[in-house]
Structure formats: C-alpha cells, structure tokens
Structure 1
Amino acid sequence: MLEFAFMRHALLAGAMLSIMIPMIGVVMVSRKTSMMGDALSHTSLSGVALGLIVGMDPVIGAIVICVVAAFAIEIIRHRFPTHGDMATAVVTSIGLGIAAVLTKFAPGGNHFESYLFGSIASVTREDVMHVAIVFLSVVFFSIALYGSLINIAIDDTLARLSGVNVTVTNGVLTALTAITIALSCKIVGALMIASILILPVATALIVSRSYKQVFLFSIMLGFIYTMLGIVLSYYYDLPTGGTIVIHALIGMAIVSLYQRRRKAAMSQ
C-alpha cells in the first residue's frame, strides 16, 4: 500500500484532515451551528463544477464558493438572529441549485462523482501541501484562541464580556471552516464531510465531562475513523467518505452501548 505515492499522499492528507475537522466540529456543535457544515459541503459542489468548467483546480473553485457561502450564512444569521436555521437552508438551496445547473456543463462525469464521495487515487503532492498549510493554521488558531473559542461556543455575549474580539474570532473561524470543508471534498467527499464533522464530536459528548475532554476525544476518534476508512477504501475499492462515516457510526454505537452498560452497572 505505501509503495504507491497516491496512498502516501492520501494517508498524510487524511491524517491532517482527521485532526483539524474535529477541532472545528467541536466549536460548531457547541455553538449549535453544526448544520453550517452540511450547507457548505453541499454548496462546495457548485465550486467543484465551476472549476471543472473553466479548467482550473476544482478544489480552488470549492474554496472560493465555500468562503463566500460561509460569510453569507453569518450575515443572514446576524440579520435574522431568531431564525438562525434559515441562513443554512437558504445557502444550501442556492448552492445546490447552482451545482445542479453547472454539472450539466462540467466535463468528466466520473471526475465530478469522485468529489461527491471522496477518492484516494486523486490526491496529489500539491493537495497535501495545501492541506498542510490549512492544518497548521487551524491547529494554531485552535490552541492560541482556545479560551476565546470556549467562550464563543457558550455565548457570544459572554465572550464579549470576557474581552474576546468576537467579530475577528468568528471571521477567522468562518474562513477556516469554509476552507477546511472545501479541501476535504477530494478525499472525504462533499456529501460526507458534515457527518465526519459531527459524528466524532457527538460520540465524544456521550462519554466526556468537559469541553477539553470532548476536544481531545473528538480528535482521537476522527483520526481513527479516517485512517481506517482510507485503508479499507484502498483494499476493498470503496468510496472513502462513506467508509469513514460507517466506521464513525459503528464507533458511536459501541461507545453508546458501553456508556449504557456502565451506567447500569453503577446503578446496581
């Protein structure tokens, strides 16, 4: 397996994505904006199609569209604070509508399909370099602003009272979220990113008692799920994203069963 360059690239890029996606996912789930990931992942398809049409890297097109869509969601959320879910619904609808039209003009149907469910064979050295740059940015941001992100995850007003520059922090978080989701299209698949963003965090919430535990446990689970998914997708020729999600679901079921039995044993 490791004798092939594309597998080394896929494993390295996957390892970095498996760490930084849960880092972002923890904040999004805590803020109750996890559906933003689903909106951006679907909207990224219009960027992929646009990239294929104009002959540029589809990931670049996905990044541009995702960043625009992410800030559009934030603007709508602040404009209509009592209807936060409306923002994700509006952007998702627009993104999918544009993607449906653009796919008719995009060359290479199989190539576009690989961005739907993920493909390890298409990962290049340039992709690894791009992921590495964003990975370092996400890790630095998550560690340097750890306390600020906790405050924002709880409440924006509390964060402002604590001296957090909420506007700047939210802006950086929004941009990094959009770029991370766009970069994940090639390996994980646009239709699978939201699940990988949420499932490790949801599993960690079952057994964790603090934000720090959720943060660390989510990263650990994300890494395990992604590595298993990439390896099995290679040996059994399966879609990478779907394989990762299946592992995440199995892991969540195991952790839930363990926690239930543990509580039953403690109550006896």
Structure 2
Amino acid sequence: MNLFAYEFMIRALVGALIIGLAAPALGIYLVQRRLALIGDGIGHVALTGVGAGLLLNQSPVLVAVIVAILGAVAVELIRERGRTSGDTALAMLFYGGIAGGVVLVGLSGRTTNLSAYLFGSLTTTSNTDVITIGVIGVLVLAAMLTLRPALFAICHDEEYARVSGLPVRALNLLLAVTTAVTVTIAMRAVGVLLISALMVVPVAAAQQLTRGFLATLAGAMTIGVLSAGTGVWLAGTIDTAPGATIVVLAIAVFLTLGVVAALRRGARRRGSATAPATPAVPVEPPEVALGR
C-alpha cells in the first residue's frame, strides 16, 4: 500500500522536509555559539504561549509565536546588557517556560491538547499549516544563507565582528527571533521537546566528516532532509510517532558517521606509522645563508 496516496501523509512529508531543511541551517549557528540547547529553552517558553492561547481561547500557535519571540529577545538583551552567561539565560528559559506552561495549561482545563505540542502531531497538519511552515521555512533559509558571512562572524568572534562594524546586536536579535519562530512552527512536526534535536543532531553528524563551514552546512541540511523524509515514511509504515522517528533516525546517522570517522582516523594513523620517515632537510647556519 502506498502511504503517500493519502493527502495527510503528503502534507506531513512536505512539512517535515521543509523543517528538516530549515532547522539545521539555523542550528549550525547555534552550535557555533555553544547554544545548542537554546531550542529546548525557547520550546518551553512557547509552551507558555500554548497555555496562554488555550486559556484565552485564542490560536495556541499564534500566541506561542508571540510569546516565544518576546522571551527570546528578552533573554538576549539580558545576556548582552546584564552580562548574564549563556547557560544562565538558558536556565531562565527552561524553568520559567515549563513552569508557566504547566500552570496556564492547568488553568485552561484542556490538558488533552498538550501532547500534540509536546511531542508533535505531524499527520494532523492542515493545508494552512503546511503553507505557514513553507513560508516561514523559506524566510528562515533565505536569512541564514544570505547573511551567512555576518552571522558566522558574530558566532565565531563577537568582539571582532563589532570592531569590524557589523550590527552585532541586530544580528543577535535576528538569530533569537528566527530561533523562536522556527521552534514554534516545528511544534507540529516534532514537538517542543524534540525540536532542538533536529537543529543540533544533523549539524553534529555532519561535523564528523566535513571540514569547513559551508561543507558542514550542506551536510547538515542534507542529513536533516533525509532524516525527515525517511522518518515520515518509516513512521507511517511501522505506526510510530513521526517526530520521534525523525529524531531517532538523525541520531542513528550521527552514530554511524561517528563510527566511519573513527575508522578513517585509525586508518590514517596506521598509514602514517608504516610510512617511511622523510629525511630531515639540513638547515644552514644563518651566516652561511646570508653569505650567498
């Protein structure tokens, strides 16, 4: 039976492929800044937005987008002006977000809706959801690829970027807002508890074999798309949760590439140990060299 004969599976596949492409394109900058877990923190803040939406009888996703953006911007400004370290800012996102979300969802009395946001509900995406994911995914990709040199500069050395005249604060806020929006739209695919994995794991997997930023970016996006597409198909075949299946496949790719990289390093070491030693080139004293 062809699973993709059903419209809901086609919508699930399209949404997963877009997120699988956009999430690693953003995640590579977060990994460079050692903020690999910021997606989890913003996901918890988005959960507060979901709770607020349920409590106020408004669109949970729309409210979650607004709350996640405000939370990400607030933490970035606190980190910059108050010199709060990255891990402290993330702790604020984790604890404040999850506590606020649980309280608001409990007050709304609609706890049965919570699992769809925590773990994703990819097969229930509507045409409107797919269009929203597509538009935002294209905007995220365009921003990450167009501003690649500037974003790489602030992630590699923020002080040097500031001295070079780059708008460091604006770029930092752009990353924060983009992360918040990406996490929120990906709630329908993998859930707020797993979206950070889709941002980080493909990047970590690509780093096993690639050298250089562009090669790692291309590899991470390829792994993200393949994991997303294969995960949707496998989830439909064996009847598992699509979001969790996508993440498990991405981790499997990471482990496989890690083994391949270890084998390659071992082969290089054995090759260098058996290679004949290169005779040392005699160095002339400075006075002899200058006398020529």
Q: State the TM bucket, normalised to the shorter chain.
A: over 0.9
| Equivalence for 1:14 | 16
Paired amino acid for 2:106: K
| Equivalence for 1:62 | 64
Matched, 1:262 2:264: yes
The superposition leaves residues 50-95 of structure 1 with CA deviations (integer Å, 9 ceiling, x where unpaired) of: 2223222221121111101111210221134362211110122111
Provide TM-score, normalisation by structure 2: 0.87
**Which of these residues, 154, 160, 170, is aligned with residue 156 of structure 2?**
154
Distance 1:107 1:9, change over 3 A: farther
Aligned-residue offset at 1:130: 1.0
* Aligned equivalents of 2:169, 2:84: Cα separation in 1: 19
SS for the counterpart of 1:2 is: helix
| Equivalence for 1:250 | 252
* Aligned equivalents of 2:44, 2:226: Cα separation in 1: 25
| Equivalence for 1:87 | 89
* Aligned equivalents of 1:20, 1:95: Cα separation in 2: 24
Distance 1:105 1:233, change over 3 A: farther
Paired amino acid for 1:206: Q
Distance 1:105 1:238, change over 3 A: farther
Alpha-carbon RMSD across the aligned residues, in angstroms, is 1.5
Distance 1:109 1:25, change over 3 A: same
| Equivalence for 1:206 | 208
Asked whether the equivalents of residues 134 and 176 of structure 1 are also in contact (C-alpha less than 8 Å), the reply is: no
Aligned-residue offset at 1:191: 0.5
- Unmatched 5+ stretches in structure 2: 271-292
**Which of these residues, 113, 130, 133, is aligned with residue 131 of structure 1?**
133
Distance 1:59 1:148, change over 3 A: same
SS for the counterpart of 1:8 is: helix
| Equivalence for 1:192 | 194
Of residues 121-130 and 73-82 in structure 1, the stretch that sits farther from structure 2 once superposed is 73-82
Paired amino acid for 2:234: L
* Aligned equivalents of 1:67, 1:84: Cα separation in 2: 17
**Kindly, what percent of the aligned residue pairs are identical?**
28
Of residues 57-66 and 213-222 in structure 1, the stretch that sits farther from structure 2 once superposed is 57-66
The superposition leaves residues 180-212 of structure 1 with CA deviations (integer Å, 9 ceiling, x where unpaired) of: 100000111111011111111111111111011
Provide TM-score, normalisation by structure 1: 0.95
Equivalent runs, 1:160-179 vs 2, <5 Å: 160-179=162-181
Aligned-residue offset at 1:246: 1.0
* Aligned equivalents of 1:138, 1:77: Cα separation in 2: 23
Paired amino acid for 2:218: L
Asked whether the equivalents of residues 189 and 240 of structure 1 are also in contact (C-alpha less than 8 Å), the reply is: no
Equivalent runs, 1:2-81 vs 2, <5 Å: 2-81=4-83
